[in-house]
Chains A and B, each alone.
Chain A
């Protein structure tokens, strides 16, 4: 077993003194094994039992995967330094999500003591700067996943340091790091050819060059999220390779049908496609998409204002696995399109979530068609002003577990039991 060597002497010392049954019967290795199944809180409790257990519970081997999200308010610099000293090379996975008081200093200590870390989540650690990533790049060459979501001080320098030092990186999330530009992304793409997932929501400076280099240098790329990067256009999206599973280009308003056609031709395995606010897309693009991407499961078409029922016809014929479809603000959609959808192979088994809010032409008729979608769990109908309360009631009677989101006032159940309460005081026996 794997307790660290420096404690061997102490273990021998304390176990000699210990008279407890469990400690005499069980070998240390088994105790350690048992402890390794415990969570953070239980481990800390065990550490207070005795000197022997303290050593065993705080052994680095038990601390390979740590998530401190529940303690985010309390975690400060010294905590991280202690953890990195205890765990040393054992630490594989650490989540410091929301630990806002963490600064570069403690992360440098971590990088030095724990060179084997593979998965690091630093979401919302707002104080961190490029120095953290430089330290990681120098020491932690085995890093595979890093999440820097909402760390506003992170710049291209970080990405370059990671690209130089961590060639094994597969998952990178730099959402809302607004200083990131195409230079950093290109360096990352060149340095980390194994990249599978790259997420940079809200990075306004990420452009065609960045996405193109990802497409060229990272053949394994499966997930790309460039939501809100409005400089991205058809040119780079058309280069994406066949491994793509999830693509989110919401808010990239420059995209046209050409991009859809290219994606359709090159990425047949696409399962998730988010196209919200891509208002130039039309039925023609979706026709091409539906013909080739038969694995599509989730689609977000919010505010694709030009699409009509024809798109729904194509989708219902071409995408039998469709689970989740959002058509918010697609104002040309009518009952006919919904009818086609409900008759499609996907409807009966897979379709679970359907977003129809702000589709003014949808009426009660659409809900009647949807009664055949047995798996439907959630339907959004906000501001569909032609839909009435009666139709919703009817839909509920067919699909008893469905959640319907609409602007109708909730019916307050009649006050029951209020009057039944005895009118005398229970504690005194006068009456």
Chain B
């Protein structure tokens, strides 16, 4: 009986291996719940590029292949210089089966790494294999880590062709999208996506990664709109927003075209609606539209306390603000539409924090341990006050709390929190507290 069982398992492993030989076409693998097999039928199902395995055989196949690998290929005994190439085909077969059934086995993934380094496994095959694994377990970190390892090696290889890179990029982003789609809050897939874009940035030889920044920005905007509770994709969204800062002039134009929205208009509309009433300058929306970037930033952050004479890039500051206020507007709508979603409020905190940081940067300040500290200019090494680094006196910090942008933001947030409170959204109160105690919005409450 025991021998018959082994023969059955061997046969199933062989059947799986046959299907896996066409791995480039395989799209998905899963275990089909069949508790008892009444008929004498193969548990390996192969239909339209999908591989299935009936659940009744899992226990036997897994135990068999796992123990064989552990017994024969993972012994650390007298013979340490064990030559895997000896029976690598058998090992690969068993590894394939075991990892398909249980991909959370770092030891076996390391065995695969060893085989790849000895050129006994093809890297492209491995990419296909991990894709198959991820189709069943989209949260498998071992598989993602293995992919990263493979891609690292592949990108180091100079013979990689440009169009091959393009294929790899498409494939990788596609896989991340699928994995994120299958499993909400898939930290691993979004993390992998961030790693991949950062990796592309370090390559940057034959292609421009900035196009992908724009693409990913638009992609993530659509994605977060559909997955309002997925904090992992919001984290990715934040990564995309920061990447947008890096675009140059040409690409910025391209970017503004691609979003199908006049970013400046959104920005100016929020400004005009929340302009401080006691301000000496009264402006209408149309007026603001005519301002150049430089003038607009000067208007919003009129007071600069810089001691050095470096020219601030007001155009960049303006672009950052446009992006962030667009994000704020999108966030408003999402919160109005999807009530009681904590993730959306956390994302809002990020936006506010970014805007406040721009203001701090403008005044050469940083926040440390809850108190504001004068920072040295980032561009020149002007640091006459470095020794002091004292806590800022009230008078100095007033320049922040009196600048137009800060007040616009304050008014806007007040209004929004009030509106949400009417809708019984509990997170509104928490947001107000956050603004008060973390971002220091209470310091200027007397202004209102």
Is there an interface contact between B57 and A409, defined as CB atoms closer than 8 Å? Answer: yes
Distance (whole angstroms) from the CB of A414 to the closest CB of chain B? 14
Cβ of B287 under 8 Å from chain A:
no
Q: For the complex of A and B, list the 10 residue pairs with the smallest distance between their C-beta atoms, beginning with the closest.
A: A410-B5, A73-B83, A409-B56, A405-B7, A406-B40, A387-B40, A385-B39, A407-B40, A385-B41, A384-B40
- Give the complex CA separation of A72 and B38 in angstroms: 46
- Known interface pairs A72-B86, A405-B4, A407-B37. Does A382 touch B42 (Cβ–Cβ under 8 Å)? yes
Cβ of B384 under 8 Å from chain A:
no
Q: Which residues of A have CB within 8 Å of B37?
A: 407-409
Nearest chain B residue, comparing its CB with the CB of A381: B40
Is there an interface contact between B7 and A409, defined as CB atoms closer than 8 Å? Answer: no
> A382 touches which one: B40, B56, B79, B86 (CB < 8 A)?
B40
Nearest chain B residue, comparing its CB with the CB of A73: B83
Q: Which residues of A have CB within 8 Å of B38?
A: 389
Cβ of A403 under 8 Å from chain B:
yes
- Give the complex CA separation of A158 and B82 in angstroms: 32
Is there an interface contact between A410 and B60, defined as CB atoms closer than 8 Å? Answer: yes
Cβ of B85 under 8 Å from chain A:
yes
Taking A385-B39, A406-B40, A407-B11 as known contacts, 19 extra A-B pairs with beta carbons closer than 8 A to each other, sorted by chain A number, are A73-B79, A73-B83, A98-B86, A100-B83, A100-B86, A381-B40, A383-B41, A387-B40, A403-B4, A405-B11, A406-B8, A407-B41, A407-B43, A408-B8, A408-B37, A409-B56, A409-B60, A410-B4, A410-B60
Cβ of A404 under 8 Å from chain B:
yes
Is there an interface contact between B40 and A383, defined as CB atoms closer than 8 Å? Answer: yes
| Contact string against B for A residues 379-395, beta-carbon threshold 8 Å, 1 for contact and 0 otherwise | 00111111111000000
Distance (whole angstroms) from the CB of A233 to the closest CB of chain B? 28
Q: Which residues of A have CB within 8 Å of B40?
A: 381-388, 406-408
Interface size class of B (residues with CB under 8 A): 20 to 34
- Give the complex CA separation of A33 and B79 in angstroms: 33
Is there an interface contact between B42 and A383, defined as CB atoms closer than 8 Å? Answer: yes
Is there an interface contact between A73 and B81, defined as CB atoms closer than 8 Å? Answer: yes
Interface size class of A (residues with CB under 8 A): 20 to 34
| Contact string against A for B residues 55-89, beta-carbon threshold 8 Å, 1 for contact and 0 otherwise | 01100100000000000000000010111011000
Binding site for A on B (CB under 8 A): 1, 3-5, 7-8, 11, 36-43, 56-57, 60, 79, 81-83, 85-86
Distance (whole angstroms) from the CB of A410 to the closest CB of chain B? 4
Is there an interface contact between A73 and B4, defined as CB atoms closer than 8 Å? Answer: no
- Name the prevailing secondary structure of the A interface residues: loop
Q: Which residues of B have CB within 8 Å of A72?
A: 86
Is there an interface contact between A100 and B4, defined as CB atoms closer than 8 Å? Answer: no
Is there an interface contact between B36 and A409, defined as CB atoms closer than 8 Å? Answer: yes
> B3 touches which one: A100, A382, A389, A403 (CB < 8 A)?
A403
Distance (whole angstroms) from the CB of B116 to the closest CB of chain A? 19
Q: Which residues of B have CB within 8 Å of A386?
A: 40
- Give the complex CA separation of A389 and B60 in angstroms: 18
Show 15 A/B contacts (Cβ-Cβ < 8 Å), sorted by A.
Answer: A72-B86, A73-B79, A73-B82, A100-B86, A382-B40, A387-B40, A388-B40, A405-B7, A407-B8, A407-B37, A407-B42, A408-B8, A408-B40, A409-B36, A410-B8
- Give the complex CA separation of A407 and B38 in angstroms: 10
Q: Which residues of A have CB within 8 Å of B82?
A: 73
Q: Which residues of B have CB within 8 Å of A387?
A: 40
Q: Which residues of A have CB within 8 Å of B5?
A: 410
Distance (whole angstroms) from the CB of A302 to the closest CB of chain B? 14
Nearest chain A residue, comparing its CB with the CB of B43: A407
Q: Which residues of A have CB within 8 Å of B81?
A: 73
Q: Which residues of B have CB within 8 Å of A409?
A: 36-37, 56-57, 60
- Give the complex CA separation of A403 and B11 in angstroms: 14
Is there an interface contact between B1 and A410, defined as CB atoms closer than 8 Å? Answer: yes
Nearest chain B residue, comparing its CB with the CB of A405: B7
- Give the complex CA separation of A407 and B42 in angstroms: 6
Nearest chain B residue, comparing its CB with the CB of A124: B86
- Give the complex CA separation of A404 and B3 in angstroms: 9
Is there an interface contact between B86 and A73, defined as CB atoms closer than 8 Å? Answer: yes
Q: Which residues of B have CB within 8 Å of A381?
A: 40
Distance (whole angstroms) from the CB of B287 to the closest CB of chain A? 79
Nearest chain A residue, comparing its CB with the CB of B1: A410
Distance (whole angstroms) from the CB of B73 to the closest CB of chain A? 13
